[in-house]
Chain A
Amino acid sequence: MKGITLKHGTQRLKEGFAKMQKGGVIMDVVNEKQAKIAEEAGAVAVMALHAVPADIRKEGGVARMADPLVIEQIMKAVTIPVMAKARIGHVAEAQVLQELGVDMIDESEVLTPADEEHHIDKSQFTIPFVCGARDLGEALRRIDEGAAMIRTKGEPGTGNVVEAVRHARKVNQEIAELVKNINNASVLEKKANEYGVPLSLVKKIAQEKRLTVVNFAAGGIATPADAALMMQLGVDGVFVGSGIFKSQFPEKFAKAIVEATRHYDDASVVARVSRGLGTPMKGIETSMLKKEERMQDRGI
């Protein structure tokens, strides 16, 4: 386009993309067929990966970015946005995903971290990033690195919502603490130091009374009621990983979770869509996990 100043990859465009996902469900898929089921069910986007978190857990070994061929096949199969995961700190995997043209990169603790000290400098990319967080400090560090969207880490691949609840509540409590101290400069300064982020970002959170970017729930959501629970805790939408394609009837589960996310505050709808759904994914009691099996402790 001659003579027109176009700007690509701005923070406004990155955060704007995330805003279009609000109120929606983003589903993990491992092939074209699953991607089409997700789109048909009303997913706002799909997350392309080589195995769902429950299988990553079972397989063990090093979990890496998905095969570009699979990602491309999924991109061709659906018209909704396609996201993909890169390992924490793995700049080169993220560069590959950007080259493939995925719509958003998840710098994810579900994969084996590549760098235990540094996250990816997300401001250097034109593609937006979503990152996991267990508390406000993690969320703000990721936002400061350029993340356009935050999600709870929860405990991926467990089908157990308890950790996602813990993380969403923790972020809410810590935001409330900042709001309460909005006029107390020394408290805000102390918090900024504690979190390792600029004071201006902490002040902004106190003013806006929420994260400055879109905030989803992820990590253990397995049923329509789980999705409704997370929405009631104030998140903007949900990621469902293993919960759909590890359930007995993925199509029905996918549709029901979309409906429950939309009508999270109307129990009659959640009841209706939950009826006769079949068996959800089996799930794991998270307190039984060994320390090295916990994905949420990766990349803080």
Chain B
Amino acid sequence: MLSCETSIPIIRTRIKRKANALKIGVLGLQGAVSEHLEVLRKLPVEAVWVKEDKHLAAVDALILPGGESTTISTLLEKNRLFEPLKERASNGMPIFGTCAGLVLLAKDAGRQQQQTGQKLLELMDMRVNRNAFGRQKDSMEAPITIQGIAGKFPAVFIRAPVIEKVNGTCHIIARLDQHIVAAEQEPFLATSFHPELSGDSRVHEYFIRKIKR
């Protein structure tokens, strides 16, 4: 077990080093929240779990994690986070959505959305198709090229959505074969895969560079 003598100085240095660091929140209503927090904690930023309005008000940027987009959408409304989030976004807060988070960022999520009546944030001008590759048996790992990131990125797709169409200033930054799997629009970034599961922090670093721009 760690003794107090050894653990305290470590905590102190961390606070000191990150005093002026960017504060990035991960929306923590459901899904792979701790996986994103773990990636962020290895980078020179402060990472926080966002559950309520007051947490949201304290962050510089937000990650919408993977999980079940219908569940997250329901919980956003029940927890009165939907409108505050939209408001922060309209004031330019950078947001990065992965998988279910990508669905939430979209303007349109097609037939499955109509079926479930799921409410979207409608921040990115794109149409997405939920579970586009199929069910879990069709989940896959594939190396892809992402604009702005050198070399191949090992992407993990789990019951992943794809972007069917982008409009206006929303533009494509990655494809898997003919499928659009990542897009960007001003302060917003969306990937249909899970960079938090790849053991590779380059997409998170890309997002941090984007916040600083």
Please count the residue pairs between chain A and chain B whose beta carbons lie under 8 angstroms apart in the complex. Answer: 127
| CB–CB A12/B197 < 8 A | yes
Do A80 and B194 contact each other (CB < 8 Å), given the known contacts A10-B141, A128-B136?
A: no
| CB–CB A44/B29 < 8 A | no
- Note all chain A residues with C-beta closer than 8 A to B78: 42, 259
| CB–CB A23/B158 < 8 A | no
- Note all chain B residues with C-beta closer than 8 A to A126: 137
Q: Kindly identify, within residues 109 to 150 of chain B, every residue whose CB is under 8 Å from any CB belonging to chain A.
A: 112, 115-116, 130-131, 134-143
Nearest neighbor of B67 in chain A, beta-carbon distance: A20
Indicate the size class of the contact surface on chain A. Answer: 35 or more
Nearest neighbor of A259 in chain B, beta-carbon distance: B78
**Least Cβ–Cβ distance between A277 and chain B, in angstroms:** 16
A80, B136: Cα distance in complex, Å: 11
- B33: which of A23, A43, A79, A128 is its contact (CB, 8 Å)? A23
Give 20 pairs: A residue, B residue, CB < 8 Å, sorted on A.
A1-B142, A5-B143, A8-B137, A8-B138, A16-B197, A17-B136, A20-B159, A22-B31, A22-B33, A22-B34, A23-B28, A23-B33, A42-B78, A79-B115, A80-B70, A81-B135, A81-B159, A101-B137, A258-B71, A258-B74
A residues contacting B by CB (< 8 A) are: 1-2, 4-10, 12-13, 16-17, 19-24, 39-45, 75, 79-81, 98, 101-104, 126-128, 179-180, 258-259, 262
**Least Cβ–Cβ distance between A132 and chain B, in angstroms:** 20
Nearest neighbor of B136 in chain A, beta-carbon distance: A103
- A262: which of B30, B70, B116, B139 is its contact (CB, 8 Å)? B30
Say whether B94 faces chain A, with CB atoms less than 8 Å apart.
Answer: no
